[in-house]
Structure 1
Amino acid sequence: MTIARDHLRADDLTLPQIADAVGYLFPFAAAFRRHHGEPPGTWRQRERTAARVLRSDVTAAHRPQRDLTEPGRAAGTAERSEPPPGIRPRRAPARGPAP
């Protein structure tokens, strides 16, 4: 079943082709379901979806960040911008004397 699982994950073989490759004829889907808890087609779809999500997360994590600083200004030294009109900046709460 491990070899069948690897074929499902990596290849575009049909289920009968995978069954033949691992030595099963007709009871392949039932045996796969008993071993993995779900039919081979469902398992393949879930694995491919998970791999696609994982690839997109890894790609996003390694995407270079844009430099949003002004030309001539070093990164990380941008001045604080003023809030839009009508919006007051948040202030830290005042602390009273300790009890």
Structure 2
Amino acid sequence: MSSVSYIRVKVKYIPQIFRSVTKTEEEELVIEEDSTLANLLMKISCIHKGLSNWLITDNGKLNENILVIVNKRVEWDFSKRLKDGDEVILTIPFDGG
């Protein structure tokens, strides 16, 4: 019998619109050890239904217009495996002018 191991990941929500849905600036989520960034984003969209429109496109794919930062580095590869203690920031790109 194999046992499942878990890791803890800190998730921060930057724009106010995300915080209004999650009711928090940050939270710690427990996920399975071999989880990818995509797994985490899907879990977040299930926990916070109001973020689904931001995180998931109409055809069920992850929204590439969301800006995801893992351990202070922008991450475009949603297949990246997460490690215990990783910090993930969800935000949207801002355009100045």
Instruction: Give the TM-score taking structure 1 as reference length.
Output: 0.25
Structure with higher helix content: 1
More strand by share: 2
| Structure index of larger Rg | 1
